[in-house]
Amino acid sequence: MIEARRLHILRAVADHRTVTAAAAALYLTPSAVSQQLAALEQETGHRLVERSARGVRLTPAGDILLGHANAVLAQLERAESELAAYGSGEAGTVTVASFATGIGLVVAPALTALAGCAPGIRVRVQDAEGDASLRMVLDRQVDIAVAVEYRGAPRADDPRLTRVPLYAEPFDAVLPPGHRLAEADRVAVADLAGDPWIGPYPGNPCHDVVVLACEYAGFEPRLEHSSDDFRAVVALASAAAGVALVPRSALRDMDLTGVVVRPLDDVAPTRRVFAAVRRGAEDHPLFRPVLTALREAAAAQG
């Protein structure tokens, strides 16, 4: 008989590519993870992982089992949801991981709404970038992620996750006040090819959006300054350190007196934001009201 927790460990190893990283995500020791993998191989009668200097990868037998593991773990999430519904599920704690702008735009308003319609649900919020939050959901460190589309993100049909679209927003150009395009009504990304750039670090989903927008415009941005804090990005632009593309909602309620903000003339890069839970958990009686509140908060933003 295959143990479900060992399937969860197999999926973590497949996701993280190393035993050490999977162990850290699962709050286990690497030796414990290795022991569980060995036990799983003994249960199945197949070699499931191959180790190399680069880490761990699944064998063909491991890939077969992983497909079944995703289905089994999703069904277990559904079982937990139904049992929680049977027991009313009107009170409990839900942990949400979101990037900072998402917290301000949809998570905080959702908390206000939940206080009125579902006072028994306590929401704990963790600040995490959009790429990190999805991994936290899969590793069961949090229940819900508010995340951003990025290169390498799990696809919409990923068998491990259920996604709820929240909102999409364009990026605007942020220029120093004395910039040659400061008087233009709109700015083309291609016209900024020769400028120094300010942007998020690689790994941040917004970094991918900016780099792709520049690639589509025919150039690679010369990133001279890096920060994941958009207030710092705007401050650097106000000091004439460079130009930037910033999601429109990140500029709300920010002091913009030292910069010029312009919409883009061509097809604007877009930040697409969604909520995600583990597949099968979307109908959990604690999670469902939170997902609904997040969706309604996003809709209220227009």
**Cα–Cα distance between 108 and 111 in angstroms, integer?**
5
**Cα–Cα distance between 302 and 300 in angstroms, integer?**
5
Mean pLDDT of 189-204: 93
Range list of H helices, the chain: 4-16, 19-26, 30-44, 60-86, 100-102, 108-117, 130-138, 205-216, 230-238, 287-300
> Which string of b and e fits 75-107 if b means at least 16 CB within 10 Å?
ebbeeebeebeeeebeebebbbbbbbbbbebbb
Mean pLDDT of 282-286: 90
**pLDDT tens per residue across span 219-251:** 999 999 999 999 999 999 999 999 999 999 889
Mean pLDDT of 115-143: 90
Q: What is the DSSP string of 41-54?
A: HHHHTS--EEEETT
**pLDDT tens per residue across span 200-213:** 998 888 898 899 89
Range name among 193-197, 200-204, 260-264 with the lowest pLDDT average = 200-204
**pLDDT tens per residue across span 54-73:** 888 899 998 899 899 888 88
